[in-house]
């Protein structure tokens, strides 16, 4: 009878696969990490803040650099302005202060006379010194051995009876003697202030005051105004400090020929302004201004 009862057996092809057993997990096993959305957002915010801070640092450095450059340019402008004031004739309104500093003006009282250089040409050394007078004293003498140079002896004579300038010293005469001991070259130097010229600018002294021509005429060399011509390019006679803007010195030479008693003579002159001390002290009166003139037989 049991053989006739239907059996619960699976039909071929209808097998149900057994379920895959789950992976065992230990008691202390870590669960798979799950990143919270807030953590991602926090990291992004931090990165943005770091970039912003870096940009702010760069911007601050740039602003500091430009501020320094602006200060530097302002300092240079102040130096140039000081030098412009130093050379301007308007400073003639300044007067001597209680500290005893020299008064700065476009003109000043003349303190010394230019000696007659033409009058000593052809004389011996002793005769020339006597003719110069004004306490003429030989301060140095040296032989000259230059091929082609007619001057064989150079003598420096200080005019000790004349008032000395506080910055450039005593007015001085320079004598050049030939092989026969006769004066064939005579020169002279003095502070422009001693000759009655104050704080004129370099260009004004040459172009408008004709300081070279007037000084030569006082020495017996009859030259007309305009004989000394200043170059149009200022840099050709100007010296600047390492910053390229601070004027340190102006120095220019002039020369020409003149007829004296029917004979041609050559003359030369050098005008020199030295601003080194004035730049350091800030005192306009400390500018050294000297003129040199020469006449050759």
pLDDT confidence tier of residue 187, bands split at 50, 70 and 90: very high
Read off the tokens for 218.
């006082």
For 176, 183, 184, the CA distances from 180, given in Å and listed in that order, are 11, 9, 10
Mean pLDDT, the chain, whole residue set: 82
Encode pLDDT of 105-146 as tens digits.
Answer: 556 788 999 999 999 999 999 999 999 999 999 999 999 999
Encode pLDDT of 141-178 as tens digits.
Answer: 999 999 999 999 999 999 999 999 888 899 999 999 99
pLDDT confidence tier of residue 199, bands split at 50, 70 and 90: confident
Q: What confidence score (pLDDT) does residue 39 get?
A: 64
Q: Give dist(CA 138, CA 248) in Å, integer.
A: 32
**Residue 228 predicted with pLDDT over 70:** yes
For residues 272 and 250, the answer to whether their CB atoms sit within 8 Å is yes
Q: What confidence score (pLDDT) does residue 33 get?
A: 57
Q: Which of 182, 181, 269, 183 is nearest to 221 (CA)?
A: 269
Q: What confidence score (pLDDT) does residue 34 get?
A: 54
37-42 long-range CB contacts below 8 Å, 24 or more apart?
Answer: none
For 20, 61, 63, the CA distances from 55, given in Å and listed in that order, are 58, 10, 12
Describe the strand order of the beta sheet including 153-159 as a list of residue ranges.
136-143, 153-159, 172-177, 183-191, 288-296, 263-274, 247-260, 238-240
pTM, two decimals, is: 0.65
CA 233 to chain centre: 17
CA 240 to chain centre: 3
What percent of the chain is predicted at pLDDT more than 70? 74
**Residue 203 predicted with pLDDT over 80:** yes
Name the H helices within the chain: 37-87, 125-132, 202-207, 211-218, 276-281
Cα of first residue to Cα of last residue in the chain, in angstroms, is: 169
Q: What confidence score (pLDDT) does residue 108 get?
A: 79
**Residue 100 predicted with pLDDT over 50:** no
For residues 223 and 216, the answer to whether their CB atoms sit within 8 Å is yes
Q: Give dist(CA 181, CA 248) in Å, integer.
A: 40
Question: Who's near 17: CB < 8 A, 6+ residues apart?
Answer: none
**Residue 294 predicted with pLDDT over 60:** yes
Q: What confidence score (pLDDT) does residue 95 get?
A: 32
For 78, 96, 248, 281, the CA distances from 72, given in Å and listed in that order, are 10, 33, 19, 20
């Amino acid at each position: 009878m049991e053989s006739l009862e239907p059996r619960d057996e699976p039909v071929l092809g209808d097998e149900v696969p057994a379920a895959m057993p789950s992976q065992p997990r230990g008691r202390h096993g870590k669960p798979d990490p799950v990143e919270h959305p807030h953590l991602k957002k926090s990291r992004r915010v931090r990165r943005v803040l770091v970039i912003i801070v870096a940009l702010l640092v760069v911007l601050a450095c740039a602003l500091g650099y430009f501020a320094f450059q602006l200060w530097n340019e302002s300092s240079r402008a102040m130096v140039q302005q000081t030098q412009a004031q130093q050379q301007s004739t308007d400073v003639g309104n300044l007067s001597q202060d209680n500290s005893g500093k020299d008064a700065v003006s476009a003109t000043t009282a003349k303190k010394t006379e230019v000696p007659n250089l033409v009058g000593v040409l052809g004389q011996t050394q002793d005769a020339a010194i006597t003719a110069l007078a004004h306490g003429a004293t030989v301060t140095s003498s040296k032989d000259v051995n230059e091929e082609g140079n007619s001057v064989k002896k150079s003598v420096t004579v200080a005019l000790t009876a004349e008032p000395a300038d506080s910055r450039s010293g005593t007015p001085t005469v320079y004598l050049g003697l030939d092989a026969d001991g006769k004066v064939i070259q005579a020169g002279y130097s003095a502070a422009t202030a001693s000759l009655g010229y104050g704080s004129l600018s370099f260009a004004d002294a040459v172009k408008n005051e004709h300081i070279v021509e007037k000084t030569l005429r006082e020495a017996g060399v009859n030259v007309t105004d305009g004989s000394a011509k200043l170059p149009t390019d200022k840099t050709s006679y100007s010296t600047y400090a390492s910053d390229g803007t601070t004027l340190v010195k102006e120095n220019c030479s002039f020369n020409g020929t003149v007829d004296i008693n029917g004979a041609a003579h050559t003359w030369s002159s050098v005008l020199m302004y030295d601003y080194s001390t004035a730049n350091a002290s800030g005192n306009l009166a400390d500018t050294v201004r000297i003129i040199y003139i020469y006449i050759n037989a």
